[in-house]
Amino acid sequence: MDLEKLASDLSKKHGRRIARHEAISAALYPRVLDDYWVHLSRYEDVSILDSPTYFYGLDPGQEVWVDLEPGKTLVISLSAVGEANEDGWRTVYFEVNGHGRQVTVRDRSRASTTAERRKADKGDPKQIGATMPGMVIALHVKVGQRVEAGTPVMTLEAMKMETVVRAGTAGTVKEVVPGLRAAVQAGDLLAVVD
């Protein structure tokens, strides 16, 4: 087993430096480590949360202290949880060190009338993700078409502002996910170039 090559390949795939001990773990448990790194890139390091908070969340009015590193602590308190919309999304209101924040999260206990959007894997250069929420107003490529890095793939529009999304790598368009006039959110998978 060439651990240096494995570490190099994994670094390219996941967009982070892979240490020798991580390469050894990946050689022994490839799927487990791959799932872990995907989770880490999506949610960051959740090991800083205590187990009850991680598994069950907070109740409104509850406060938790999260130690990021010595001398750096976040005080997080849950203010309120909004009602779920028709697509199964809720707005969660909370405070971080006394400053109000809000985030929209999926309520997995509710059945959604729309299919869950696929997200682009940030560590995979073949996957092209939406850089902003908006609507697809132009498709510039078709499945099977050969593209070069920088080739326009589609155009998104939000509040009269247009953004051209371009291929990050050369290859053949394997998949175009949303159709014309589809609404997308930031991070949604738009296309795959193989």
Q: What is the pLDDT of residues 146-166, one digit of tens each?
A: 999 999 999 999 888 899 999
Residue 148 belongs to a domain: yes
Residues 54 and 31 placed together within one structural domain of the fold = no
Q: Nearest 5°: phi and psi at 135?
A: -125, 140
Residues 37 and 51 placed together within one structural domain of the fold = no
Could you tell me the residue range of the domain that residue 137 belongs to? 127-193
Residues 34 and 61 placed together within one structural domain of the fold = no
Integer Cα distance of 107 and 118 in angstroms: 16
Give Cα separations from 111 to 83, 91, 93, 115, 119 (angstroms): 14, 17, 22, 10, 19
pTM over 0.75: no
Please tell me the number of Cα atoms within 13 Å of 54 on its side-chain side. 10
How many other CB atoms sit within 10 Å of the CB of residue 99?
7
| 10-residue mean pLDDT series, the chain (194 residues) | 91 85 92 86 85 91 92 94 85 94 83 68 86 90 93 90 90 91 88 92
